[in-house]
C-alpha cells in the first residue's frame, strides 16, 4: 500500500513537472517579442506593399505586440531570388515574391507560367481562394525550409512595347521581351512567338530605355509604380498568364510560434488577402488612368485566340509534366466546379 502511495505521489510529481515545463515554454514563447523581417521588391506606393502593411498592422494588433513585423520594400535587401534564399536560411523570416520566382525551389509553382491556365480572371480569383489549391502550392516547399502563407492577386500579365505595334502572335517575331528569370517564363514567351530575355525586375526600366529589350510583360501597375510607362507607350491585352504574388515564411520560425501565434499570423494573412482584392482593382484602374493621361500610354486589345492557339503545345506539356500534372487537374476541377455553380444561379 505504502509502495503504491509512493508511486502515485511520484507519478503526480512527474506530471506536475512536465506541465510546468510546458507552461514555461508557452510563457517564454509568449513574452518574448518575435521580430519578423519581411522583404519585397515593390515601392511603398504599390498595392502589394499596402496589403503587406495591412498584414503587419493586423498581426501586431491581434498578437498584442507578441509579434512585430518590419517591412523592407524596394528590393533593398536584394532580388526576389536572393530574398527567397535569405528566407530559407532564416536571415530574414518572410518575403513576398512572384510565384514565377519560386519555380526553381518547387516546380509546382511553374504551373502559373502555363499559358492561359485560367479561363478568366474571375475563375482565377475563385480558384485561388480554395484551401486545397493553396495547400498544394504552399506546402510544396516545406523541404526547402519555407512555407507559403498567403497569396496576393497580381493581375494578368500582358505585353507592353516601346513602340512596336502588335495585332496577333505573328507580330512577336524577333521581339526581345523581358521575362522573369526562370525556365518556364522563357518557354512561355517562346511559345507565344517572342524572343525571351530573362532579367530581374529592377533592371527592366533601364534595359528598355537603352534598347537591350523591346518589350516586357506584366500587369498595369508596372507602368506607373515602376515607371515603365515612361519608356513603354503601348500596352497589349494578351492576358497570357496569371501569376500571383506569394507571401512565404521560414519554416523554423513558423514552427517556433505557439498554436495561438500561428493562428494570429494566418488570420492576419487571410485578412490582408481579402482586403487586397479591392486595393488591387482600384490600383489597376488608377494605373490605367495615370498611364493614359500623364504618360501617354495607349491600351490595345489583340487577337487573343492566335496567342492561345500557338501556345497549345506548351499548354499540353504542362498538362502532362509529372511536376505539374496533378495540380493542373486540381485547378481544372475547381474551375469546372465554379463554372457549374455559376450556371446554376
Ligand atoms: C510582378 C510581381 C513582382 C515581380 C514582377 C516581375 O510585378 O508582383 O513580384 O518581381 O512581376 O515580373 O519580376
Three-state DSSP class for residue 310: helix
For position 73, what pLDDT does the model report?
98
Q: Which of 180, 246, 283 to mutate to test the pocket of ligand 1 (most atoms within 8 A of CB)?
A: 180
**Domain contains 311:** no
CATH of residue 98 = 3.40.190.170
Residue with CA at minimum distance from ligand 1 atom 6? 201
DSSP-derived letter for residue 220 is T
C-alpha torsion 83→85→88→93, nearest 10: -20
Residues 6 or more apart from 167 whose CB is under 8 A from it?
302, 303
**C-alpha 63 – ligand 1 centre gap (Å):** 30
For position 27, what pLDDT does the model report?
55
**Domain contains 216:** no
- Full pLDDT tens readout for the chain, 345 residues: 455 555 555 555 555 555 555 455 555 555 689 999 999 999 999 999 999 999 999 999 999 999 999 999 999 999 999 999 999 999 999 999 999 999 999 999 999 999 999 999 999 999 999 999 999 999 999 999 999 999 999 999 999 999 999 999 999 999 999 999 999 999 999 999 999 999 999 999 999 999 999 999 999 999 999 999 999 999 999 999 999 999 999 999 999 999 999 999 999 999 999 999 999 999 999 999 999 999 999 999 999 999 999 999 999 999 999 999 999 999 999 999 999 999 998
Q: Which of 40, 42, 47 to mutate to test the pocket of ligand 1 (most atoms within 8 A of CB)?
A: 42
For residue 246, give its domain range: 32-152+242-292
For position 345, what pLDDT does the model report?
81
**Domain contains 75:** yes
Residues 6 or more apart from 224 whose CB is under 8 A from it?
286, 287, 290, 291, 295
Residue with CA at minimum distance from ligand 1 atom 1? 98
**Domain contains 337:** no
Residue with CA at minimum distance from ligand 1 atom 3? 98
Other beta carbons less than 10 A from residue 188's beta carbon: 29
Helices (H), 159-303: 183-192, 204-210, 221-224, 251-256, 259-295
**Domain contains 172:** no
Domain count across the chain? 1
For position 32, what pLDDT does the model report?
82
**C-alpha 109 – ligand 1 centre gap (Å):** 14
Q: Which of 38, 100, 213 to mutate to test the pocket of ligand 1 (most atoms within 8 A of CB)?
A: 100
**Domain contains 95:** yes
**C-alpha 98 – ligand 1 centre gap (Å):** 5
**C-alpha 80 – ligand 1 centre gap (Å):** 9
Amino acid at each position: 500500500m505504502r509502495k503504491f502511495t509512493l508511486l502515485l505521489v511520484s507519478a503526480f510529481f512527474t506530471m506536475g513537472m512536465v506541465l510546468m515545463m510546458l507552461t514555461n515554454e508557452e510563457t517564454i514563447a509568449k513574452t518574448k517579442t518575435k521580430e519578423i523581417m519581411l522583404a519585397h521588391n515593390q515601392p511603398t506606393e504599390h498595392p502589394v506593399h499596402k496589403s503587406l502593411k495591412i498584414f503587419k498592422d493586423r498581426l501586431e494588433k491581434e498578437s498584442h505586440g507578441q509579434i512585430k513585423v518590419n517591412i523592407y520594400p524596394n528590393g533593398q535587401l536584394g532580388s526576389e531570388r536572393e530574398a527567397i534564399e535569405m528566407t530559407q536560411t532564416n536571415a530574414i523570416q518572410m518575403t513576398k515574391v512572384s510565384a514565377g520566382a519560386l519555380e526553381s525551389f518547387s516546380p509546382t509553382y511553374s504551373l502559373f507560367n502555363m499559358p492561359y491556365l485560367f479561363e478568366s480572371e474571375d475563375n482565377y480569383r475563385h480558384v485561388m481562394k480554395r484551401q486545397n489549391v493553396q495547400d498544394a502550392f504552399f506546402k510544396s516547399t516545406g523541404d526547402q525550409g519555407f512555407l507559403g502563407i498567403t497569396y496576393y492577386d497580381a493581375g494578368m500579365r500582358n505585353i507592353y512595347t516601346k513602340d512596336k505595334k502588335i495585332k496577333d502572335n505573328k507580330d512577336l517575331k524577333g521581339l526581345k521581351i523581358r521575362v522573369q528569370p526562370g525556365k518556364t517564363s522563357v518557354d512561355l514567351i517562346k511559345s507565344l512567338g517572342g524572343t525571351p530575355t530573362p532579367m530581374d525586375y529592377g533592371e527592366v526600366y533601364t534595359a528598355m530605355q537603352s534598347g537591350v529589350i523591346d518589350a516586357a510583360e506584366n500587369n498595369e501597375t508596372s507602368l506607373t509604380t515602376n515607371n515603365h510607362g515612361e519608356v513603354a507607350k503601348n500596352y497589349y491585352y494578351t492576358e497570357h498568364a496569371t501569376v500571383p504574388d506569394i507571401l512565404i515564411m521560414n519554416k523554423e520560425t513558423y514552427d517556433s510560434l505557439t498554436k495561438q501565434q500561428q493562428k494570429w499570423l494566418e488570420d492576419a494573412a487571410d485578412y490582408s488577402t481579402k482586403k487586397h482584392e479591392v486595393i488591387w482593382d482600384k490600383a489597376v484602374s488608377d494605373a490605367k488612368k495615370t498611364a493614359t493621361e500623364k504618360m501617354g500610354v495607349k491600351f490595345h486589345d489583340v487577337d487573343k485566340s492566335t496567342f492561345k492557339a500557338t501556345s497549345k503545345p506548351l499548354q499540353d506539356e504542362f498538362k502532362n509534366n509529372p511536376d505539374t500534372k496533378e495540380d493542373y487537374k486540381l485547378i481544372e476541377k475547381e474551375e469546372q466546379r465554379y463554372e457549374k455553380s455559376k450556371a446554376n444561379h
